[in-house]
Structure 1
Amino acid sequence: MRKPRNDKQLQPMLHRAMPAWANGRRNPLPRRRRTRGSTWVVALVAIGLFALYALFPDPPFSLDGPPLSGAVERVVDGDTIDVAGQRIRLPGLDAPEWNQTCRTADGGAWECGVAAARRMRELTRGRVLSCHQEGHDRYGRLLAVCRDGKVDIAQALVADGFATATSRYAAAEAEARRARRGIWQGQFDTPAEWRRREAEGTAAEAGNPSRFERFVSWLWGLLSS
């Protein structure tokens, strides 16, 4: 007959760690590690899919629909703006490029390209434009006449002396010439001549903005407001 164990013999057994299965519960540590790893994989896949989606531009805007309406999300330069996710090239004018300089009346240099973009911002800031589409250029940009009420934005820019014009805005250009406003105060290369000489500007820059560019523009506008 076996002798009963005394308390000293039972004490080590009482302090021994119980196995995970003994109390009906499973050890949660391996599951937590597996769940954490799966979450990271799902997050990385989602980020990758969003990045692919964001880098592709939207399809060209339909010319058969109603006029495009919205606030200006970004001023690319004096004659190109982003409205409602569409990059719009205003027809009938040609503004100096970003890096272009012109001459003042006394022969000094001034940044006419930067000034043209700044004037476009002033004309469109806080405004909701109605843009009547006319076509697309070779880069896929929408060609549209944009107005703030009855004010033609392109015509106003030409009248202020910050762009050359075709016959559409010939009267506004003549007015700026007579008053020697903006680029007409001194000598300058036409934007087309300047582009040919400098060989700047690519289709990627000129084309429609990607969804990522639109997100960055929206975020920048939110932070700077």
Structure 2
Amino acid sequence: MTNAYIFSHNRIATELSLSARARHYEHYPLVKGNVAPQVLLKSSNRLHKKSQQPAPAGYSLLSLDELLLSGKPVVLVFYSPVVHKADHLHFFKVLQDRLGQHATLIILADPGNSSIRQSADLLGKLNMYVDRHNIISEAFGLHNEQNPLWNWVPGVESDTAFINAFYVISPGKEIVFHHIDYGFTFFSQAQEQRESFIRDVLQKVQTGTSAPLAFATS
């Protein structure tokens, strides 16, 4: 084995390693097959439109375990857009309508996303919470306080931003579907791509239940 071969082999291996590192920003999110960690949702962290009176601090807690006791999967979305757009909330409303009574949709926004309140009309219809102090996003491996995303992603300026992600969690707390949006490109996709994505989510929700489901088609 020549020195030239060893040098070339090591260079290629290093390039591959750096490429893999850049793809996931040295974050290691939970994926399909993992067990979901505990999630506690404070009613005081729920996002409301400005005309609504927010709940008192610490008013009540809702846990992932409690949500799953219904026997329905939970679709958990981590939402941290580089630039907020109103049509993102419209997408969530479409997803929620398509899921109907067959799954619970929970959306977690990063603490720096106060601009979401500007699109007030849909907030009262969505289960959207702020992930205060990034406790939940860190548990899912989507945020690392020591490695903020502004080091990696152009347009991200907040220390609290986390990677966008979608999870389907079965009643047994197993993650049966994941989509990690490392490039922050999901919301720039065409309508056809988003519709295909919704069908994938609905299919995984169905695999997480014991009976055939009939979903809304529009």
After TM superposition, the score normalised by the length of structure 1 is 0.27
| Greater helix share, structure number | 1
Q: Which has the higher contact order (CA 8 A, sep 6+)?
A: 2
Q: Could you say which structure has the larger radius of gyration?
A: 1
